[in-house]
Homo-oligomer: A and B are copies of this chain.
């Protein structure tokens, strides 16, 4: 098994992938082909886990998301910055982004939207509700996979001005935070 192999991840830990606020890749499958978009506007809603993402008609992927009510949130790492930027600056309307950026689609366990082999983790999601007046899509994770033996695990944080911050040091306050950490995390 190579170092980037995906393993099943427990659903109760999935919120820890999105809580730090990384830029993510969101895949969809419209019935004919897969597509992927870069999204920085995400939020944890619940430990169960539920998430929100902001998207709408301005993203080509939105119509597949709306139709299939499924997607995959993939977590790219620091070494994938140019892929993140490239995916975010062209459209699935005229581009096969998996081919263009050398991303390998893998079948999910539950949803038809593809996992991305090159990412550190992939979260299979179903749409719970689209809150249209705020362009908020509420998602529920139904399966998740990670590549824990992958060497690069640092994620990227989009600033919104064309710069990106790479994860730096990790500081441990588990003891002080104990009352707030869900059981088993």
| A interface residues with partner B (beta carbon < 8 Å) | 13, 15-16, 19-22, 40-46, 50, 52-54, 81-82, 85-86, 88-89, 129, 131, 134-136, 138, 154, 156-181, 185
Contact = CB atoms under 8 A, between A and B. Distances in A.
A164 B159 contact: no
Given A44-B54, A129-B134, 11 more contacts: A19-B40, A20-B158, A41-B43, A41-B44, A42-B43, A52-B136, A131-B134, A157-B157, A162-B177, A162-B178, A165-B168
A170 B162 contact: no
Contacts of A161: 13, 16, 174, 181, 185
A168 B171 contact: no
Interface of A is mostly: mixed
Contacts of A41: 19, 43-45
A176 to B, nearest CB: 5
B134 A162 contact: no
A179 B90 CA distance: 10
A156 B21 CA distance: 10
A13 B159 CA distance: 10
Contact of A45 (B13, B134, B169, B174): B134
A45 B136 contact: yes
A160 B44 contact: yes
B163 A173 contact: yes
A170 B176 contact: no
A171 B167 contact: no
Contact of A89 (B20, B86, B154, B180): B180
Nearest to A50: B134
